Structure formats: C-alpha cells, structure tokens
Amino acid sequence: MLAWTIYISFIGVLVLMLLPRDAARAARIVALFSAGLSCAFAFFGAIQQVQQQSDLGAVTTITKVPWIPALGAQYYLAADGISLMLVVLTGLAAVTGILFSWNIEKRTNQFFAFYLALIGGVYGVFLSFDLLLLFVFYELTIIPKYFLIARWGSTRKEYGAMKLALYSFVGSHLVLIGMIAAWVVAGRQLGHPTLDLTELAKITFSAGFQHWVFPLVFVGFAILAGMWPFHTWAPTGHVAAPTAGSMLLAGVVMKLGAYGCLRVAMVLFPEGAKEWQWAIAALAVIGIIYGAGVALVQRDFKFVIGYSSVSHMGFVILGLATLNTIGLDGAVLQMFSHGIIAGLLFGVVGRMVYDRTHTRDFNDLETMNVGKLLPFAGVTFVIAGVASMGLPGFSGFVAEFQVLIGMWQVYPIATLLAGVGIVLGVGYTLRAVQRGFYSDTPPSPYASHEAHGHDDHPMEPISIPERIGAVMLIAASLIIGLFPSLLMDWIEPCLKSPMFARLLHGGAQ
C-alpha cells in the first residue's frame, strides 16, 4: 500500500505532462487528486502497519525484488516507524503545498508535474531500504527542485536555484564516494555484493575506514539538512522558491538530508559517529545560534523564515549528535515538527502575505498594517510563530525539549548554548510578528511606491484552499504537541531495534 505513494505521484506527473498547456484548472485538480490520494495511501498504509505490526521497530518489507544482481542491488521498499512518520509528513506537506499554490497560473501543468516528481522522489527516499535505490530517489529530487525555483520563483531565482542544485549535487556525490567505498569493503567481507541497508548495518567496518567515510557521508547528507557551514543554499533557495517550493524544501527536502544522516551515515558507521560526535554537536550549536542571530536582523520576511529553518534544523542535527535514545527521539520528532511548522510559516509569508502585498520588506510591511487587512494571516502566523519558538502544547516543544535533555547527558555546555538559540528564536519570531503584521507605523512619504499598499484596490481575501491548508498544519502540530506519544510510539521501537543497537549501545549487537 505504501509503495503506491511513489507510483501515484509519478502517474500524476505523466498525466500532467499530457494535459494541454492552458488547462490550469484541470492541472490543479489532477495534482491535488494525486497528492491527496498518495497522502491517503501514506496515512492508511501507516495505520495498517501500526495495527498489524506488533513491533514497529521491525523493518516491514513492502517489495523486495532483485534489481541489478551484479551489484547486489535490490528494488527493496520497506518501512519502519521512522519511515512511516516521514511518509505521513510528506503526504501532509504535499497536499498543503498544492493548496497554497492554487494561484499558479503560469504553465500550471508543468509546475505541478515537477512538484509531484519531487514528492514522488521524497516518498521513495523514505521507503527505500536499498542504498542504491535510496540514492536514486535522493538524486531524483534535485532536478524538479531546480526547475521549480528557476522557473516559478522570485528574488534572484536563477542564482538560488543553481546554488541549491549544485549544493545538493555535491552533497550527493560525497555520499556516492562513501557508498562505493562501503560497497567494495562490504562485498569483500561478505563474499558477495550487497547494498541492502539492513544487511550493511550488520557489517563492522574497520575503525580506520569509518574514521574518514563517516564524515564524508554525514556531511554529504547534512548539506541538504542545512548544517552550518553548508547551509548557505537554504536561505537563498527558500527565498527564491515559489511558496509551495519553499514549503517542500523546508518541510520535507531538508528532512531527506537529516534522514540520510541517521539512516545511512550513523547506522552504517557507528564508530565514526562516536568519533566525530563532538564536531557534529559543535556545528549544530553554531548553526542554531548563527541561524537565529541572522534571522534577527533580516529585512526580508522570507529570509527570517529561511534562517529560522537553519536554526531549527540545527536542533535535528544536535539531536543526532547526542547518540542516545532520548536525543534521537527528539531529533526525529523535530523533523516532523519542523516540517509542519516551517511549511506553515512559508505558506503564510509566501502565499498569504507576499502574493497580496507584493513586498516582503519589513519597512514596507510595517506601513501596511497587514494584521488588520488579513486577520487570518496574522493569526495563523502568530500560532505558527509560537509553535516555532517552542511553546508547550505544540510539537516543537516536545521535540526540542527531548533534544536538549539528550544533549545535557553528553555536552551540557552545548545544551546551554542551544538554549541561547531558543531565546533568540523567541526574539526573531516576535520581531517578525510585530513588524510584519501588527505595526502601526504610518506610511512614510519616502517609502517606496512599488509596494501594494499604496494603490487603492483592496487585497483579495484569504482563499478557502489556503484556510484548509493552514488549519491542517496547525491541527497536526497541535495534535502531536498534545499527544506526542502518537508519534513517539512509532519512533521509539525503531531506536530499540537491532539496526540502531550498535549506535546507541556500543558494540552490543
């Protein structure tokens, strides 16, 4: 059932490519239908597995057929609790992204074709338990991202798109080097080639090998997770992307990177992870503080969210660096939480505000009193903002709290510094709320006249699709915030499974 999430997305791509160019309405409906259907498949597939599987930590095979025998590669789709959670997140992000891009009029069918191709690739990564297959889906997402941004984006779109594409490509090539090296070493140890992740996870690579391969693979994936100092694609890419693009980038694409770090780099090379733990933690903390600090001084509304993403993804990386159960729990939950909240923030800023005011500059927004003109946008942003700063009751709190507890057991000083990042997070969020929505600065006579506020026609009201999308995301964040056990019950068994045993409990297998 879960595998159909991938197939439906790609069938949607084919249908959209065959649609006539000016059938914008049909394109939207096809896109929403296939995203909705794959979301439903993701959701019910996950429920089904939860009900049938007594142990969610076990890797449940969906399909496993030989693919390239010479390499030992298989078409191996499977899922454990972590995959399930991320697949559901992808479904949610895909549907809301389409709802938030209902107003795309230019080459609608191509836009949604690239969009669904990206979604299909993301589903594929989360469900692949064959290293080569995972890599194939991982790289498959690069091209749609590029075209979505370069064609339908805004501010310096071609620069942002190319930067994102090259960063992703460089990252995946670092992974490729590590993957080939691991394949060769594993093949010699086993006597037959294999790329099966569950099998590779049982192999003990020599410490010397892990020492250099782990950073290669980890950094390769972490580039996409926005780890400092490889994060610079994130703000420019997010800002340049169309709304749905930034929602997906922040919502799920950055999770691909984090997922890869966890599933591939850390599980296969646990010794390397222990050796480099301090470095990852340091970079994560720098990312948290740096992202938050830079977000605090931005003039462009979307840059604030872009840098806040870097900061929040820092928590995911920090959680990974704890190498203990509670920290990893938090990291995985933070993936979900940030996916929801960042998607919502980008939706509000990109679609609700920017598409109507045509400016993202705080100096202009201040004079417009957006909060009064677009009350729904204002309220949604406030909710998303407090969720993002980690107010108890929302998903972000549970996740970041666990990360901090986990880190306290390893490097207390890092926990304290990350706490500074949280305080800064409160700062930039409040500043954004205040300057973006609820400022009563009168229009200055010297203000730029390009901004929308200076002409007369009223802003169109917030549309129904936007409202539905926003409510869905807020509800998801609230539900997980109030009942974190819903997802914790999916994540925790995985971390107790044999796959993670070496990582979390030393050499015991």
Nearer to another protein, 173 or 299 (CB): 173
Query: Which of 296, 371, 348, 337 is CA-nearest to residue 480?
Result: 337
Rounded to whole angstroms, how far apart are CA atoms 132 and 215?
19
Instruction: Select 174 or 284, whichever has its Cβ closest to another protein.
Output: 174
Residue with tokens 């010479």: 70
CB-wise, 7 or 408, nearer to another protein?
Answer: 7
Which residues lie below 8 Å from residue 16, measured CB to CB, with a gap of 6+?
Answer: 27, 30, 31, 109, 110, 112, 113, 116
Whichever of 144 and 330 has its CB closer to another protein, that residue is 144
Burial 337-373 (b: 16+ CB within 10 A, else e): bbbbbbbbbbbbbbbbbbbbbebbbbebbbbbbbbeb
Q: What sign does the dihedral 156-157-161-162 (CA atoms) show?
A: negative
Contact of 168 with 219, CB cutoff 8 Å: no
Q: 170 or 296: whose CB is closer to another protein?
A: 170
Cis omega (within 30 of 0) for bond into 270 = no
Q: How far is the CB of 233 from another protein (least distance, A)?
A: 14
Q: CB of residue 187 vs another protein: minimum separation in angstroms?
A: 7
| Residue 138 vs 290, nearer CB to another protein | 138
Return the bridge partners of 68, or none.
73
Sole residue written with tokens 């780099």: 265
Q: Closer to another protein at the Cβ: 136 or 430?
A: 136
Question: Cα–Cα distance between 55 and 493 in angstroms, integer?
Answer: 7
Q: Residue 28 burial (CB < 10 Å; 0-12/13-18/19+)? A: buried
CB of 139 to another protein, least distance (A): 5
Sign of CA dihedral 128, 131, 136, 139: positive
d(CA 351, CA 344): 10
Pair 229, 291: CB distance under 8 Å: no
Identity of the residue, 136 or 382, whose beta carbon is nearer to another protein in the bound complex: 136
CB of 188 to another protein, least distance (A): 8
Binding residues (CB under 8 A) for another protein: these are 17, 67-71, 110, 132, 135-136, 139-140, 142-143, 146-147, 150-151, 158, 162, 165-166, 169-170, 173, 176-177, 180-181, 183-185, 187
At its nearest, how many Å lie between another protein and the CB of residue 94? 21
| Shortest distance, position 165 Cβ to another protein, whole Å | 6
Nearer to another protein by Cβ, of 162 and 482: the residue is 162
Least gap, CB of 220 to another protein (angstroms): 11
Q: Write down the least CB distance from residue 170 to another protein, Å.
A: 5
Three-state SS for 383-402 is HHHHHHHCCCCCHHHHHHHH
**CA atoms of 233 and 290, how far apart (whole Å):** 15
3-state secondary structure of 76: strand
Residue 297 has φ and ψ, to the nearest 5°, of: -115, 15
As measured in angstroms, the least distance from the Cβ of 128 to another protein is 12
